[in-house]
């Protein structure tokens, strides 16, 4: 799992949470080696001991077969209800690995929720993710400038992440059946529900985790969006890599700044390069001055390859250290925040109405 992901989520698309590591395949006991050891041990004893050893070998073989049988029976079995997502009646053309694929909306959403949020998350958080993903998809369908021939693509740097069902089941290992059922219920139990602001589908942006609060859309992209306002977010130390650190040499820092801001004046040591910081709502950097040039916290995040715009900067004569909190552009729903709210008893409606200001959750109009 890379520590730094391409910060492409600052355009507009969703930033996925970091994926859980795939479950390790259980190491099977080498039954034949056990038998070999027993035989070898028995051969040094008398005939009675040898006979006893052979009986033991036979018993071990039976136990081994029994265990294997049990293991096979314990393999994940996809439950019947897993295949019975409601048919929303809507189909999407999805660009997947260079090919146009026709997908039923809820099947597409199953793959998005499975890819965008750890299936171990609380059920209400998964439901919030399903509604956000449905809203994002229906809002974007038909207006995807990057690929006008497709409603959506499966590249998370452009649209939403998506994973094939077989791949997800394989990644989940022994949890496959339970996790598949959670994702299915998240999609099915929110069937046809979308997030509306004054009756229109919203741009349902989400990100992995925030500092003390989410960001105003205006602070990140310059345009104020009434339902994408900074709100407090309850996640914290339970988030993997919640705090991260980036250390750049003076030379690397200079090159990064000049590549983005050729007009910046960088004289002497890095301690001279950084000017005042103005905070944004939610605790992120609003603006920062780099060599006399004012950039937004979101731009600084891109320039220095930081996981979020919630950072502090400590320049010395030789290097510059950034301490960063959270992951993603910080706008809209925080996925780890949603999980923390759900763990504290909030419903998916509470979560969505917390992170998207002034919205309603209703059946999709039209």
User: How, if at all, do strands 319-325 and 311-315 pair?
Assistant: antiparallel
Residue 52 CA neighbour count, 13 Å, CB half:
8
Q: Which is nearer to Zn ion, 95 or 342 (CB)?
A: 95
CA 259, distance to chain mean position in Å, is 30
Characterize 62-81 residue by residue with b for buried, 16 or more Cβ atoms within 10 angstroms of its Cβ, and e for exposed: eeeeeeeeeeeeeebeeeee
Closest CA to 115 of 99, 97, 130: 130
Q: Return the DSSP state at 213.
A: B
Q: Which is nearer to Zn ion, 203 or 233 (CB)?
A: 203
Sites of contact with Zn ion (CB under 5 A): 153, 158-159
**Structure tokens, 308:** 């979020």
**Structure tokens, 138:** 């229906």
Q: Which is nearer to Zn ion, 153 or 228 (CB)?
A: 153
Q: Which is nearer to Zn ion, 137 or 309 (CB)?
A: 137
Cβ at position 156, least distance to Zn ion in Å: 9
Cβ at position 197, least distance to Zn ion in Å: 23
Closest CA to 146 of 134, 129, 160: 160
**Structure tokens, 180:** 């598949």
Q: Which is nearer to Zn ion, 149 or 267 (CB)?
A: 149
Cα–Cα separations (whole angstroms), residue 244 to 113, 156, 216 = 26, 22, 22
Residue 134: strand, helix, or coil: helix
Q: Which is nearer to Zn ion, 39 or 90 (CB)?
A: 90
Measured between alpha carbons, how far is 117 from 205 in angstroms, rounded to an integer? 14
Q: Which is nearer to Zn ion, 28 or 143 (CB)?
A: 143
Cβ at position 331, least distance to Zn ion in Å: 18
Closest CA to 139 of 12, 264, 8: 12
Q: Which is nearer to Zn ion, 158 or 186 (CB)?
A: 158
**Structure tokens, 100:** 């146009």
Cβ at position 309, least distance to Zn ion in Å: 24
Cβ at position 157, least distance to Zn ion in Å: 8
Per DSSP, what are the bridge partners of residue 165? none
Cβ at position 334, least distance to Zn ion in Å: 23
Cβ at position 119, least distance to Zn ion in Å: 23
Measured between alpha carbons, how far is 170 from 7 in angstroms, rounded to an integer? 28
Cβ at position 136, least distance to Zn ion in Å: 11
User: How, if at all, do strands 152-153 and 91-96 pair?
Assistant: parallel
Closest CA to 201 of 116, 136, 112, 113: 136
Cβ at position 332, least distance to Zn ion in Å: 18
Q: Which is nearer to Zn ion, 9 or 122 (CB)?
A: 9
**Structure tokens, 105:** 């909306």
């Amino acid at each position: 799992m890379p520590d730094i992901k391409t910060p492409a989520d600052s355009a507009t698309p969703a930033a996925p949470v970091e994926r859980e590591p795939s479950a390790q395949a259980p190491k099977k006991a080498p039954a034949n080696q056990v038998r070999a050891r027993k035989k070898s041990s028995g051969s040094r004893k008398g005939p009675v001991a040898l006979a006893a050893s052979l009986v033991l070998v036979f018993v071990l073989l039976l136990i081994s077969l029994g265990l294997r049988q049990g293991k096979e029976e314990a393999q994940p079995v996809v439950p019947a209800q897993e295949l019975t997502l409601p048919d929303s009646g809507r189909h999407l053309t999805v660009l997947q690995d260079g090919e146009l694929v026709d997908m039923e909306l809820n099947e597409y959403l199953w793959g998005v929720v499975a890819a965008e949020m750890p299936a171990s998350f609380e059920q209400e958080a998964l439901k919030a993710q399903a509604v956000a993903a449905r809203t994002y998809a229906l809002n974007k369908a038909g207006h995807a400038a990057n690929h006008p021939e497709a409603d959506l693509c499966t590249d998370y740097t452009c649209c939403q992440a998506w994973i094939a069902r077989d791949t997800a089941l394989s990644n989940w290992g022994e949890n496959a059946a339970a996790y598949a059922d959670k994702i299915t219920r998240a999609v099915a139990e929110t069937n046809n529900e979308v997030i509306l602001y004054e009756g229109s589908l919203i741009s349902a942006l989400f990100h992995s985790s925030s500092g003390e609060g989410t960001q105003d859309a205006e602070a990140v992209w310059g345009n104020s969006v009434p339902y994408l306002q900074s709100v407090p977010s309850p996640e914290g130390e339970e988030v993997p890599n919640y705090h991260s650190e980036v250390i750049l040499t003076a030379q690397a820092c200079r090159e990064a700044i000049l590549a983005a801001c050729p007009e910046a004046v960088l004289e002497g040591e890095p301690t001279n390069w950084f000017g005042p910081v103005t905070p944004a709502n939610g605790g992120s950097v609003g603006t920062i001055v780099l060599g006399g040039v004012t950039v937004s916290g979101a731009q600084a995040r891109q320039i220095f390859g930081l996981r979020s715009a919630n950072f502090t900067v400590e320049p010395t004569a030789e290097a510059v250290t950034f301490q960063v909190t959270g992951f993603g552009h910080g706008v809209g729903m925080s996925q780890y925040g949603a999980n923390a709210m759900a763990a504290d008893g909030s419903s998916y409606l509470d979560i969505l109405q917390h992170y998207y200001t002034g919205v309603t959750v209703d059946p999709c109009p039209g």
